[in-house]
Chains A and B, each alone.
Chain A
Amino acid sequence: MEVLGMLGMGFATALTPENLFYCFLGVFLGTFIGVLPGIGALATISMLLPLTFHVPATTAIIMLAGIYYGASYGGSTASILLNLPGTPSAAVACLDGYPMAKQGRAGVALFMTTIASFVGASLGIVILTLFAPKLSEVALSFGPADYFAMMLLGLVAAATLAQGSPAKGIAMVLFGLCLGMVGTDVQTGQQRFTFDVPYLSDGVSLVAIAMGIFGVAEVIGSIGRVTNAEVAAQKITMRSMMPTKADWKASWKPMLRGTGVGSFFGALPGAGGTIASFMSYAVEKKVAKDPSRFGKGAIEGITAPESANNAAAQTAFIPTLTLGIPGDSVMALMLGALIIQGIQPGPRLMTEYPELFWGLIASFWLGNIMLLILNIPLIGLWVRMLRIPYSILYPAILLFICIGVFSINNSYFDVLVVMAFGVLGYVMIKLKFEPAPLLLGFILGPLMEEHLRRAMLLSRGDLAVFYERPISASFLGVTAILLLWAIYASIRGVSAASRLRAQAKAAEG
């Protein structure tokens, strides 16, 4: 009952006109950029980070979160109509969604993915509401050694489970950690890697890194590559969207299974929506009576992964809000936004800033209801958005990046720094380095160093503290297994993500 009382307070926070407006803005933008291939949640949240300097913390987080889960609703639209995923986690929706569109059932596919998204998200929020308070109680007993081990596991998991080669993922985490070292050392006041440039004494700006690497570099990489494919010439009418009884019957169990798979992978550090949706597709193929239907427009092939990635988008907030450990790079940006506002994420967040925590959860409910309305009666609007050419979109993106970063300090120098990171990000794209783990390393770097030094101070330099404490020992054990596997895989040239994708692709047959 305590939870209900807190949730009531959360709704009081989320229902203020300002928060309601920003929640709507977030989910609207999220759907918009989710629908459009070539711009993702990461780039959009980076672009809107400067706004967090102008509005209160709770409002800012409500909006940024809205973009994140809104994008996972919109992502499947382009998958179904163009066979081109709008977001990475919607890639699976191509497998059966596009065949459905070719059979003239695009409307049904769009309707059912929205329903599946809503089911997955709602149950995800319930799980978040029930587990987060428990987990943050447990986390209060963590010592600095446990924290260090947990962050290490989070980073290694994010790097090894990401796309591409695990060794390159870990290298990017390390590079991010190095960037995080720039600035003033908290314990001694020593200036590190600042080279007497006063601008660097507060460290490299998170906003500049995120905007440069995910905004500017993405645009450079996308020009000439993103072309507007012909939108399937189908009129999406309300009548064409109505699923049959058989569609409902075939979908409700996969939605629940998808939610289960998604909630689990969402809460794991480093896994997230993409892996969750591929996994749930694999599960559906395993339990199906007739697996040969998959890839030819089987409805459970879109509803289960959609429930999974939306449930994952909600449960990803569990480690972020309770432990202060971001599961993926979008969550890392959210943590960054909190830190910018002077709020230290971690197990005390819930008791120190209850209106932020519960207000955010209440806003998830409101945001998902808004998304249901945005995605069913207004689906025609989004389908038309797919016709916006990239040559109009990218100057607008760049302009928002430039004005946004300029507005933080009214300094043109910040714009130059963003451009420098844009070049760095482009070099990384060309050398096939995944930029997302860099951001995780950058944000967790200073925290990890602090916990390591505190742990060493408390244990008087005895490293045994890491394996004598059961919590830390088990985190380190899992980390070691992942690392060994990563080294093995980099020599053999395989990765978890590519193997999963191969499994799902096999469905196409």
Chain B
Amino acid sequence: MQRRDWTDIIGGSLLLIFGLWFLWHAQNHYNLGELRRMGPGAFPAGLGLLNALFGLLILVPAFFRKGEMPVPAIRPLLAIIAGGLSFAFLIEPAGLVPATVALVFVVALAEQKQRWLRTAILAAALSVMAVLVFTKGLGIPVPAFRWWSY
């Protein structure tokens, strides 16, 4: 327990900054027009302003109550995102099966305990399923292995 509600202080500040930036960008880059004929900037500018106001409404009371400091779970976050990225960068050059295997092994790192055999079986099963459902079933033009198609 902290003396201030840091969750809402961080959240409110982020919204306030985002709202002010959105307002500034809309005002400076797009025509606001007038009420009778609103320009492309008017609605976004209003939204930015309201965003900033609600950010303030969340931020200010948070200074006056106890709360908690949000602690992100770094390990799952990094492992899951890395898994997605490895899929993204392997699917075109290498094909569906290598991308699937890479994803399954990388996201498995999100957990504390590693069970390699289980992960390997899961990778194999999901690869077969992915090829059957997506390449064969739905006809998505991704080969299982890229080097076979050259």
Contacts and interface: CB of A to CB of B under 8 A. Distances in A.
Interface residues of A, number: 63
The interface centre, meaning the residue of A54, A178, A392, A396 with most chain B CB atoms within 10 A of its CB, is A178
Nearest to B9: A431
B103 interface: yes
B61 A395 contact: no
Contacts of B36: 456-457, 460-461
B51 A426 contact: no
Given A398-B107, A402-B103, A431-B11, A187 B77 contact: no
B142 A167 contact: no
Given A220-B77, A399-B103, A410 B44 contact: no
A137 interface: no
Q: Which 4 A-B pairs have the closest CB atoms?
A: A461-B36, A461-B35, A415-B88, A431-B11
Interface string B54-69: 1101100100010000
Nearest to A492: B61
Contacts of B140: 403, 407, 410
Nearest to A441: B47
Interface of A: 51, 54, 165, 167-168, 170-171, 174-175, 177-178, 181, 185, 187-188, 190, 192-193, 216, 219-221, 223-224, 391-392, 394-396, 398-399, 401-403, 406-407, 410, 412-413, 415-416, 418-419, 422-423, 426, 430-433, 448-449, 452-453, 456-457, 460-461, 463, 487, 490-491, 493
Given A178-B48, A216-B84, A220-B76, 8 more contacts: A171-B54, A178-B47, A220-B110, A223-B111, A398-B80, A403-B130, A426-B72, A430-B71
Interface string B94-131: 00100110011001101110010011001000100010
A449 B99 CA distance: 41
B15 interface: yes
B1 interface: no
A425 to B, nearest CB: 11
Contacts of B70: 430-432
Contact of B81 (A54, A193, A401, A423): A423
A456 B72 contact: no
A51 B89 CA distance: 22
A170 B54 contact: yes
Nearest to B77: A220
A453 B77 CA distance: 42
Given A167-B57, A399-B104, A431 B7 contact: yes
Contacts of A181: 43-44, 47
A96 B36 CA distance: 58
B107 A395 contact: yes
A132 B36 CA distance: 35
Contacts of A410: 140-142
B40 A185 contact: yes
A419 B106 CA distance: 14
Contact of B73 (A187, A193, A220, A406): A220
Contacts of A185: 30, 40
B87 A402 contact: yes
B24 interface: no
Nearest to A182: B44
Interface string B18-37: 11001001100011001111
Contacts of A193: 25, 44
10 contacts: A165-B58, A167-B58, A168-B11, A190-B30, A192-B40, A219-B76, A220-B110, A223-B76, A406-B88, A433-B11
A54 B100 contact: no
Nearest to A418: B84
Contacts of B130: 399, 403
B122 A178 contact: no
Contacts of B99: 402
Contact of B11 (A224, A432, A456): A432
B46 to A, nearest CB: 9
Contacts of B138: 51, 54, 407
A449 B141 contact: no
Contacts of A398: 80, 83-84, 103, 107
A399 B61 CA distance: 42
Given A395-B103, A415-B87, A426 B77 contact: yes
Contacts of A461: 34-37
A430 B72 contact: yes
Contact of B61 (A187, A419, A452, A490): A490
A192 B25 CA distance: 9
B54 A395 contact: no
A220 B74 CA distance: 9
B96 A171 contact: no
A402 B11 CA distance: 29
Contacts of B17: none
Contacts of A188: 31, 39-40
Contact of B37 (A433, A448, A457): A457
B141 A223 contact: no
Contact of A415 (B43, B84, B115): B84
Contacts of A418: 84
Contacts of A399: 87, 100, 103-104, 126, 130
A220 B80 contact: yes
A195 to B, nearest CB: 10
Interface string B134-150: 10001011100000000
A216 B88 CA distance: 14
